[in-house]
Structure 1
Amino acid sequence: MRRERELSSLYATARSLTALGEIDVVLDSIVRQAHELIGTDFTYLSLLDDDGELVLQASEGLISSSFSAARVPAGTGVGGRVIATGAPAWVSNYLATQDVPHHDAFDDLVLPEGMVALLGVPLLVGEEVVGALFAADRTERPFEHDEVALLSAFADHAAVALNNARLYAESRSALAELQAAYRTIEQQVAVVERAQSVHESLTGVVLKGGGAAEVAQLLVDHLQGAVTVFDRTGAVIAQGRHEGGVKQPDRRPSPDAVEQARRSGRWATTTDSTGLWHSAATIQAGDTHLGALLLTREHEPAPIDVRTLERAAQIMGLLILKETAVAEAEERVSGELLTELLVSTTPTNPTRRARAQARGVDITALDTLVVAESTGRTLSEVSRRLHALSTSHGGLAGEHLGRATLLLAGGDAETTAETVHARLRRELGTPVRVVAESVVDGAWGRAFDRASRCCDLMATLGVTDQGATAEQYAMFALLFDPDRADDLDRFFADSLAPLLAYDTRRSTQLVATLTAYFQHGGNLTRTAAALHVHLNTLLKRLERVDSVLGDDWRTPDHGLPLQVALRLHALRTGA
């Protein structure tokens, strides 16, 4: 009776799989129904990538989010044996067994997931193994022959459904291309051939990983004239023009056509006072505006030209979305690794070093930490700029505890602070605070704490636009808690407010005079020389200080707070 129920469930499941179309839906359904059928603690499905690694694609019953990113290198683990032999394989205790080669990265995921017993069966399309289906328990046990046979039979049906889904996706894509080609049949044969050529070329650009410049030049080759590609902010990112054709504009051409296309969500054509025709097609993803394509010619574009421009805009949208997705994934991985380095008690373990090296990052060389913030830009915007900088310097960047953070091999912290500040200031177009701190003995977390405190102190002092090191503010970070800004304001009021008010009221320079006086250790001759004033002038200024602060400002009890206040004032004003 049990065998009959299992077979009945297997065939019912197989029938339901044949009704599915989308690959993601098929993968999720395979795992879900396999989980219900086999009855283990959790089930997952992995497919082979181009490097021969098994990459987890769908799962059911997992408790650890990190396991969903599991990858099994070729030749390792139960999955490696399944792929190599094309036959089922199982172990009753994965971590304890020596029957299969282990891989540290995967083993690190097994413990938090609690996986013990593991059964894997191949997904076969013809004679080719395309992946494996796994059933796992969190207790040690063997897998019975009936269980192996049942999961294998289900995997055979699942492989057929998966292959059908792939064929369905390919046929649907081919159908979409056919429908697009049929819309051009109304045109003359020569026009149809040209449109097909453009479409094939645009598809080739996507397949070869081309970008905006390739799309622009392709349109120029087929449509003549000049082509301009704008990003979502209206900035020109690519241009091209046909040899002997219309001159490429030196400034942003025909904003009317671009704006009209953006408002319509499709395309628009305008003419200008010189007789040029401007046709613009908006680049969109849903309701999100990603940019625009602009064709400028001396004669009116034909309908097929406009449709070609629209199709090119769709291709550009796909390219932009792909680049955005890749960038976001890259930023996420970089940020996760950065956080691990900052919070881990053993940040340089072999697994983490290997992950960093795979990204071209040498952990041991990361000797400078940078935090940055801008009141005029969001945290994600600042982090994105730091990430772009990290990729060109073999570093890591991301968000940590609400701060945009960068780790790189900078060497000199002061030079790094100035360089990063200059670049962020230029790219963000707003004031930005940047603090760099040298990392000692791999203590990245300690460097982050110091840089963060310094950044808070700069904000408390009213410093909005500066690149500095934590060392420059070290003494003041010890003296003042940035969360007690009111106390700091009262300190200023008690120490410097009378002198600042006197300077403002009388247009004098008592604050500058005292700053120079303390800088030169109270030496009157050197102070007068530094201020470029006569000694008698200096003495008169100091007499005015006596009248404002009292005669005891030179005593240690009053002189030290006054010197600290003067230094903080210089940092706040950038003097």
Structure 2
Amino acid sequence: MENADLASYRIRRERELGALYATARSLTALGELDAVLESIVREAHELVGTDFTYLSLVDPEGELRLKASQGTISPSFNQAHVPSGTGVGGRVIASGAPAWVSNYLQARDLPHDRTFDDLVIPEGMVALLGVPLLVGEEVIGVLFAADRTERPFEPDEVALLSAFADHAAIALNNARLYDESRSALKQLQAAYLTIERQVAIMERAQSVHESLTHVVLKGGGADEIARLLVDHLQGAVTVFDRSGAVVARCSLDPDLDTGTAQQPSDGAVEQARRSGRWATTTDSTGRWHTAATVQAGDTYLGAVLLTRVEAPTPVDIRTVERAAQIMGLLILKDTAVAEAEERVRGELLTELLVSAPPVGSAQRARAHARGVDIASLNVVVVAMSETRSASDVGRRLRALSSEWNGLAGEHRGRATLLAAASEPALVAETVHARLRKELGSAVRVVAERVADDNWGRAFELASRCCDLMRNLGVTDLGSTAERYAMFALLFDTDRAQDLDRFVTDTLGPLLVYDVRRSTQLVVTLSSYFGNSGNLTRTAKALRVHMNTLLKRLDRVEGILGDDWRAPDRALQLQMALRLHGLRTQTGRTT
């Protein structure tokens, strides 16, 4: 019997060892981590012959998490994890050696985890053996063999599963290294593709930069910049000037052309203007708007706006910014040319205003080269503002000068325009309306017809009338010099106090009497002189009875004295009444 038992034991051990080495060789042929885990558990289950087998790996927090199982019946058991230091797995990790219990739930010398114990009951696990998966001296996991009946584990079983676990740990570690190598390879490939894309993007950006630079060198404009951006970035491109007007627009997408261009009062353009650089927004249709400001120092010159369906990349944004910088260079270049032309025109304007007639042939030739016929310049316009500088007003006049085929600039601190027009009054009113709108503030405009090519004399009279308007309290009006000429010639317009004193000394008593008594003596006296002293026409003009008119004139005589009709006194009164009327009328209308 002893010989028969020994022979049977030897045959069983040989079969187990043969199976062990066969499964070990099969494990080494696997590369995928998940495939290795499943194979380890399957082969261990067949090798040991317990009811079920499972494998748990140690996670970064030190917990054992089930990764593969064979023979389990409860789906929830496959989600099992055991906290560090608990159960058979905790003992295996702590000792680095196998451990087993014949009845897990009744083992009182083991720290238990209630959550895991709740999973053990439906699975029916009773006897449990755990062996370590060692890589060097580190336990990376535990291989478990379990039965649903109470029993001890023989030393041969423990040794067999431990030997299998040693081979399995090597295969598992190789699989992990294989996964890490493959992951590193994928990262390297991704990095290489990223580098390739970055190189392509840089090459495209360099191409755009070279194209934009070429636009500057050949003297291109906003239309070419918009077209270049659309060619490289797709979508639609809109270029705005400093006032918000669209100066160029290009699009190859009909859907982006169906709507109107975004206005600079809101959206990306306004945000970019506030930031001084760029901004990106999306609208209700899902379109992306990327705007970059065109600036020279702190001066806002306009904006470049890219609209498209796709979100812009950082390179796209830098490209739009670069286009805005190129646009700024073009504007500065055009501005420099315009300023040079303005200086020439300003010099010609000054020469005409200071020189005595007749005009020389050289001046006529210079004017003709700029499309100006000196002989047709028959109106001088002077504009003044209390809130804007003469140079600022002068720049506005330059922009208007082409409408009258004229010259504009600044002369002796006054914004001046020489125009070719048949109606000075129409020129004054039109220029006043335009300046009033553009400046957003009050402005005085006086126009005077030029006689005998004497632009200097017309300028002096228009300037004096402009000063007189200010002294009279007129701040916002377009008029001809004719309306104020006589008084501008009689009074020194630099002595506003003397002008006020003259009106007050001459009409002061009547003005005070009217205010205190709510009478109309000043209006009556003005109508009396306006009707050449004719009482009938005066009464009719005032719509009063003759007796009422006579009583008013008697009151005037009582206030001013009985000599108010004398020629010298009457002349003073008429002049004061006229000045007061201009001041009062303007006060009501401005």
Tell whether the structures are fold-level matches, with TM greater than 0.5. Answer: yes
Check the 8 A contact 1:367/1:442 in 2, yes or no: yes
Task: Calculate the TM-score normalised by the size of structure 1.
Answer: 0.60
Instruction: Specify the code of the residue in structure 2 equivalent to 1:570.
Output: G
Please list, as runs of the form range in 1=range in 2, the aligned pairs for 1:170-189 lying within 5 A after superposition.
Answer: 186-187=197-198
Alignment correspondent of 2:384: 373
Which residue matches 2:582? 571
| 1:229 and 2:239 are equivalent in the alignment | yes
Q: Please report how far the alpha carbon of residue 222 of structure 1 lies from its aligned counterpart in structure 2 after TM superposition.
A: 5.4
Residue 438 of structure 1: how far off its partner (Å): 2.2
Supply the AA of the counterpart residue of 1:484: R
1:459 deviates by: 2.0
Any residues of structure 2 matched to 1:342-421 within 5 Å, and which? 342-345=353-356, 348-421=359-432
Matches within 5 A, 1:141-156: none
In structure 1, give the amino acid aligned to 2:300. Answer: H
Identify which of 530, 535, 547 aligns with 1:524. Answer: 535
Structure 1 stretches lacking a partner, 5+ long: 1-183
Instruction: Tell whether the 8 Å contact from 1:370 to 1:436 is kept in structure 2 after alignment.
Output: yes
Show the counterpart of 1:468: 479
> What is the distance in 1 between the residues matched to 2:324 and 2:247?
14
Query: Equivalent residue for 2:113?
Result: none
Distance of aligned partners of 1:186 and 1:569 in 2 relative to their CA distance in 1, 3 Å threshold: farther
| Structure 1 residue 186 displacement after superposition | 4.0
Q: Distance in 1 between matches of 2:447 and 2:243?
A: 31
Equivalent residue number for residue 257 of structure 1: 268
Out of 296, 321, 340, the residue aligned to residue 329 of structure 1 is 340
Q: What is the CA-CA distance between 1:340 and the residue it aligns to?
A: 1.6
Contact 1:340 1:347 in 2 (8 A): no
Deviation of 1:499 after TM superposition, in Å, equals: 3.0
Determine whether 1:340 maps to 2:351. Answer: yes
Q: 1:238 & 1:432 partners in 2: Cα distance? A: 33
Superposition pairs of residues 90-169 of structure 1, within 5 angstroms: none
Please state if 1:486 is matched with 2:486.
no
Letter in 2 for 1:563: Q
What residue number does 1:277 align with?
Answer: 288
- Structure 1 residue 325: deviation in Å? 1.0
- Percent of residue pairs identical: 69
Residue 312 in 1 paired to residue 323 in 2? yes
SS for the counterpart of 1:320 is helix
For 1:247 and 1:442, how far apart are their aligned partners in 2? 55
Alpha-carbon spacing, 1:227–1:496, altered in 2? closer, same or farther (3 Å): farther
SS at the partner of 2:311?
Answer: coil
1:231, 1:499 → 2: CA distance? 57
SS of equivalent residue, structure 1 residue 522: coil
Shift of 1:524: 2.6
Q: Which residue of 2 aligns with 1:293?
A: 304
Aligned residues: 392
Distance in 1, Cα, partners of 2:393 & 2:335: 16
Task: Provide, for residues 168-227 of structure 1, a one-character-per-residue CA deviation record: whole Å limited to 9, x for no partner.
Answer: xxxxxxxxxxxxxxxx974485x6787677557655655665544554465456545554
Q: Deviations over 1:97-141 (max 9, x none)?
A: xxxxxxxxxxxxxxxxxxxxxxxxxxxxxxxxxxxxxxxxxxxxx
Which of these two proteins has the greater Rg computed from alpha carbons? Answer: 2
The Cα shift of 1:434 comes to: 1.8
How much does 1:494 deviate? Answer: 1.2
Amino acid at match of 1:441: D
Give the direction of change, closer, same or farther, for the CA distance of 1:197–1:244 in structure 2 (3 Å limit): farther
Kept in 2, the 8 Å contact 1:367–1:439? The answer is yes
Q: Is the 8 A contact 1:395 1:408 kept in 2?
A: yes
Structure 2 counterpart SS, 1:467: strand
Change (3 A) 1:279 1:562: same
User: What is the rounded CA distance, in whole Å, between the counterparts of 1:426 and 1:194 in structure 2?
Assistant: 45
Shift of 1:332: 0.5
Maintained 8 Å contact 1:353/1:362? yes
- The amino acid of 2:239's aligned partner reads V
Question: Offset at 1:375?
Answer: 1.0
Q: CA deviation at 1:233?
A: 5.1
Tell me by how many angstroms 1:518 deviates.
Answer: 1.5
Pair 1:520–1:279, CA change in 2 (3 A): same
Alpha-carbon distance in structure 1 between the residues aligned to 2:518 and 2:248: 55
Contact map agreement 2:357 2:454 (CA 8 A) in 1: no
The alignment partner of 1:417 has SS state of: helix
Check conservation: 1:515, 1:563, Cα contact below 8 A. Answer: yes
* Cα distance, 1:363 vs structure 2: 2.0
Match of residue 453, structure 2, among 442, 447, 451: 442
Query: Which residue does the alignment assign to 2:441?
Result: 430
TM-score computed with the length of structure 2 as normaliser: 0.59
Unaligned runs of 5+ in 2: 1-194
Match of 1:514 among 486, 505, 525: 525
Say if 1:551 and 1:225 are closer, same or farther in 2 by CA, change over 3 A: farther
SS of 1:553's equivalent?
Answer: coil
